């Protein structure tokens, strides 16, 4: 059990446990009361639940069925009204659009021999260069944003933050690093990108 911002969150087997990168995003959310928000990769649901205290319109998705169950439990514990879905990035959303999209990306570079082949792996496995999921996300995200929408991504210096900034700018976003923290061998950043 984790206590955070006056709320309790259960941790669950086979689900990414909230860590420094989670809390860095939680402390730097750019969400407005009127926003319709999507969180991708919700895990335990902690970010979606915190967001639901700001705005009532929150959808959370995860590719891990155990994470979906865990987030639903935590949503009930904290009396949050979140629509929680099983899905890979945007595939469970049809043509829904959002004002803000939040994503603590799977950003660790991972070689074939480092893979553990379980549900938890989806939370951190970014492929050989750490960018497999990040690049897919950037290609698809604009289709799911309202005009003047914003994206907040968590990423590591191990997976080339500058490339992410460049790719987002090519898609018409103004991008800034709104938070960063050094952990051991990497710097973890929160990128905020707004459609201009």
CATH code of the domain covering residue 150: 3.40.50.150
Q: What is the pLDDT of residues 86-108, one digit of tens each?
A: 999 999 998 899 999 999 987 55
**Could you list the pLDDT tens digit for every one of the 196 residues in the chain?**
899 999 999 999 999 899 899 999 999 999 999 999 999 999 999 999 999 999 999 999 999 999 999 999 999 999 999 999 999 999 999 889 999 999 998 755 565 555 455 555 555 454 566 688 899 999 999 999 999 999 999 998 888 999 999 999 999 999 999 999 998 888 999 999 999 8
In sequence order, which residues have a C-beta less than 8 Å from that of residue 144 and are 6 or more positions away? 38, 90, 93, 96, 97, 98, 101
Q: Are 90 and 22 in contact (CB under 8 A)?
A: no
CA 99 to each of CA 31, 36, 45: distance values in angstroms, whole numbers, following the listed order: 9, 5, 19
User: What pLDDT, on the 0 to 100 scale, is given for residue 136?
Assistant: 94
Q: How far apart are CA 118 and CA 35, in angstroms?
A: 34
Domain region containing 127: 2-24+32-195
User: What pLDDT, on the 0 to 100 scale, is given for residue 162?
Assistant: 96
User: What pLDDT, on the 0 to 100 scale, is given for residue 158?
Assistant: 87
Q: At residue 153, what are phi and psi to the nearest 5 degrees?
A: -115, 140
User: What pLDDT, on the 0 to 100 scale, is given for residue 115?
Assistant: 45
Residue 13: other Cβ atoms inside 10 A:
8
The domain total for the chain is 1
């Amino acid at each position: 059990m984790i206590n955070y911002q006056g709320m309790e969150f259960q941790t669950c087997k086979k689900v990414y446990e909230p860590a420094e990168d989670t809390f860095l995003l939680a402390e730097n959310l750019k969400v407005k009361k009127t926003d319709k928000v999507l969180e991708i990769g919700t895990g335990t649901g902690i970010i979606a639940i915190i967001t639901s205290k700001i705005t009532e319109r929150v959808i959370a998705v995860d590719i891990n069925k155990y994470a979906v169950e865990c987030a639903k439990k935590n949503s009930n514990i904290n009396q949050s009204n979140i629509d929680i879905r099983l899905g890979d990035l945007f595939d469970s959303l049809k043509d829904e659009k959002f004002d803000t999209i939040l994503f603590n990306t799977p950003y660790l570079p991972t070689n074939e021999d480092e893979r553990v082949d379980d549900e938890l792996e989806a939370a951190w496995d970014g492929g050989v260069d750490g960018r497999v999921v990040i690049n897919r996300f950037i290609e698809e995200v604009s289709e799911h944003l309202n005009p003047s929408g914003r994206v907040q991504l968590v990423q590591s210096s191990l997976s080339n933050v500058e490339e992410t900034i460049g790719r987002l700018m090519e898609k018409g976003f103004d991008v800034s690093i709104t938070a960063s923290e050094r952990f051991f061998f990497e710097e973890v950043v929160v990128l905020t990108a707004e459609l201009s």
